[in-house]
Amino acid sequence: METIAERLKSVQLTVEQSTLDAHRPSNSTKLLAVSKTKPVSDIVQAYEAGQRLFAENYVQEGVEKIQKLQTLDDIEWHFIGPLQSNKTRQVAENFHWIHTLDRLKIAQRLNAQTATGKMLNVCIQINIDQDDNKAGIAADELNSFAKVITEFPKLRLRGIMTIPKAKQSPTQQAASFAKMAQLYTHLKAQYSAVDTLSMGMSGDMVNAIQNGSTMVRVGAAIFGSRN
Ligand SMILES: *Cc1c(COP(=O)(O)O)cnc(C)c1O
């Protein structure tokens, strides 16, 4: 069986090769290691192999891990799951990023609950395939929602995120990723802090990078499949 360090290495190589194939600079696609459901010892293994960006989906599980790993203080923690308003404080206090912002009420709470001197990095989630099962705002709501978000002093708008519909051909997924890339280019031209197009997971990271992703969120390919 391959170790976490070996799988991480192979994902890093895939990410780098796809980035170069897409005619983008070396190291310009970031790799988020999605450690949801996996033990703290797995995170430590990836950390020791050099990984510094980690993502969690569930507030309570994530906060427990962050607290246990406090001594590894150069980890950047990303929240990538659905967020209910009664849990915003834990995200504001423990995470550096949230990728799934899609509601004004959540933004208001995160802004109010982020400590003085800290900025919370946010990506707006887009439901690019208009999938009833997916969270996120519609693509045509992005301009107005982004404007509101950038007015909150504690939130730093870094970009947009999507999870494409699962049962699609690679060609259909590429079309969804390409639509995201267009939205991203437009947003980046308006707001100087925007530098992140968060899309691509274990099964579709190459496709996502070919279509402009700057940050892939990879779980199973690094940590093994989840139950
Ligand atoms: C679980 C999850 C991932 C990682 O998925 P894998 O298929 O394990 O790579 C990425 N993004 C989100 C939002 C997730 O929930």
The band of 227, judged by pLDDT with boundaries at 50, 70 and 90, is confident
Angstrom distances, CA of residue 222 to CA of 29, 33, 110: 16, 7, 30
Instruction: Please enumerate in sequence order all residues whose Cβ is within 8 A of that of 122, keeping only pairs 6 or more positions apart, or say none.
Output: 97, 98, 99, 101, 107, 110, 149, 155, 156, 157, 158
Structural domains of the chain sorted by starting position, each given as residue range(s) with its CATH number in brackets: 4-223 (3.20.20.10)
> Ligand 1 test: best mutation among 57, 124, 216, most atoms within 8 Å of CB?
57
SS3 141: helix
Q: Is 179 in the pocket of ligand 1 (CB under 6 A)?
A: no
Per-residue model confidence (pLDDT) at position 167: 83
Q: Is 62 in the pocket of ligand 1 (CB under 6 A)?
A: no
User: Could you identify the atom of ligand 1 that is nearest to the CA of residue 223?
Assistant: 8
Per-residue pLDDT reduced to its tens digit, 120-159: 999 999 999 999 889 999 999 999 999 999 999 999 999 9
SS3 54: strand
Q: What is the pTM of this model?
A: 0.97
End-to-end CA distance of the chain: 17
Q: From the CB of residue 4, how many other CB atoms can be counted at a distance below 10 Å?
A: 22
Per-residue model confidence (pLDDT) at position 5: 98
The band of 105, judged by pLDDT with boundaries at 50, 70 and 90, is very high
Phi, psi of 146 (to 5 degrees): -60, -40
Per-residue pLDDT reduced to its tens digit, 150-184: 999 999 999 999 999 988 899 999 999 999 999 99
Per-residue model confidence (pLDDT) at position 10: 98
Residue 176 has which token pair?
Answer: 């969804």
Q: Is 119 in the pocket of ligand 1 (CB under 6 A)?
A: no
Per-residue model confidence (pLDDT) at position 9: 98
Q: Tell me which residue has tokens 């982020």.
A: 114
**Residue 90 Cα, ligand 1 centroid: separation in angstroms?**
21
Instruction: Please enumerate in sequence order all residues whose Cβ is within 8 A of that of 62, keeping only pairs 6 or more positions apart, or say none.
Output: 36, 56, 77, 79, 81, 94, 95
**Residue 98 Cα, ligand 1 centroid: separation in angstroms?**
14
Mean pLDDT of the chain: 97
User: Could you identify the atom of ligand 1 that is nearest to the CA of residue 80?
Assistant: 13
